A and B are shown apart, each in its own frame.
Chain A
Amino acid sequence: MRASTEPKPAEGKQQTIKTGADLLVEALIEQKVETIFGYPGGAVLPIYDALYRADGSFDHVLPRHEQGGIHAAEGYARVSRKPGVVIGTSGPGATNLITGIADAMMDSLPLVIFTGQVAKNVIGTDAFQESDVMGITTPITKHNYQVQDLEELPRIVNEAFHIAATGRPGPVVVDIPKDISATVFERDVKNEFHLPGYQPTVRPNPLQINKLREALIGARKPVVLTGAGILHAGGTEALKSFVSNYDLPVTSTLLGLGAFPGDHHRFLGMAGMHGTYAANMSLYECDLLINIGGRFDDRLTGNLQHFAPNARIAHIDIDPAEIGKNVPTEIPIVSDAKKALDKLNELEPATLDHAEWVEKLESNKQNYPLWHNESEDVILPQYLLRKVHQLTDGEAVVTTDVGQHQMWAAQYYTFNRPDRWVTSGGLGTMGFGFPAAIGAQIADKDSTVVAIVGDGGFQMTMQEMSLLQERGLPVKIIIVNNQALGMVRQWQEKFYDKRYSHSIIDTQPDFVKMAEAYGLHGYKMESIQEIDRELGGILNSDKPAVIDCRVVQQENVYPMIAPGKGSHEMIGVSKP
Chain B
Amino acid sequence: MNRVTGLLSKRQFNIESISVGRTETDGVSKMTFVVDVEDERKLEQFSKQLNKQIDVIKVSDITDKQIVARELAMIKVLTTPQQRGELQAIIEPFRATVIDVSKESMTVQITGNSDKVDAMIELLRPYGLKELARTGLTAFTRGQQLHQTEVKPYSILN
Task: Report whether B55 and A197 are in contact in the complex, using a CB–CB cutoff of 8 Å.
Answer: yes
Does A10 belong to the interface (CB within 8 Å)?
A: no
In the complex, 28 of the A-B residue pairs with CB atoms within 8 angstroms, ordered by the A residue number, are A135-B2, A138-B2, A138-B3, A138-B6, A139-B7, A139-B10, A143-B55, A195-B54, A196-B57, A197-B54, A197-B55, A197-B56, A197-B57, A197-B58, A201-B157, A205-B156, A208-B156, A319-B52, A320-B51, A320-B52, A321-B49, A321-B51, A325-B45, A328-B41, A332-B156, A333-B156, A334-B157, A334-B158
Does B118 belong to the interface (CB within 8 Å)?
A: no
Does B53 belong to the interface (CB within 8 Å)?
A: yes
What 0/1 pattern do residues 157 to 178 of A give for CB contact below 8 A with B?
0000001000000000000000
Q: Count the A residues whose beta carbon is within 8 Å of the partner chain — how many?
A: 25
**Cβ < 8 Å to A, chain B residues 9-25:** 10
Quick one: closest B residue to A323, CB to CB? B156
Give the contacting residue for A321; candidates B2, B3, B45, B55; CB below 8 A: B45
Task: Report whether B2 and A201 are in contact in the complex, using a CB–CB cutoff of 8 Å.
Answer: no
The residues of A with any CB-CB pair to B shorter than 8 Å are 134-135, 138-139, 142-143, 163, 195-198, 201, 204-205, 208, 319-321, 323-325, 328, 332-334
Does B48 belong to the interface (CB within 8 Å)?
A: yes
| Chain A positions within 8 Å of B45 at CB level | 321, 324-325
| Chain B positions within 8 Å of A201 at CB level | 157-158
**Cβ < 8 Å to A, chain B residues 132-158:** 154, 156-158
| Chain B positions within 8 Å of A319 at CB level | 52
| Chain A positions within 8 Å of B154 at CB level | 332
Q: How far is the CA of A320 from the CA of B157 in the complex (A)?
A: 8
Q: How far is the CA of A333 from the CA of B154 in the complex (A)?
A: 11
**Cβ < 8 Å to A, chain B residues 27-49:** 41, 44-45, 48-49
List 7 additional contacts besides A201-B157, A208-B158, A334-B158; criterion CB under 8 Å. A143-B54, A195-B54, A197-B55, A325-B45, A333-B156, A334-B156, A334-B157
* Chain B: minimal CB distance from A217 (Å): 22
| Chain B positions within 8 Å of A139 at CB level | 6-7, 10
What 0/1 pattern do residues 113 to 128 of B give for CB contact below 8 A with A?
0000000000000000
Task: Report whether A321 and B48 are in contact in the complex, using a CB–CB cutoff of 8 Å.
Answer: yes
* Chain B: minimal CB distance from A110 (Å): 14
Task: Report whether B54 and A324 are in contact in the complex, using a CB–CB cutoff of 8 Å.
Answer: no
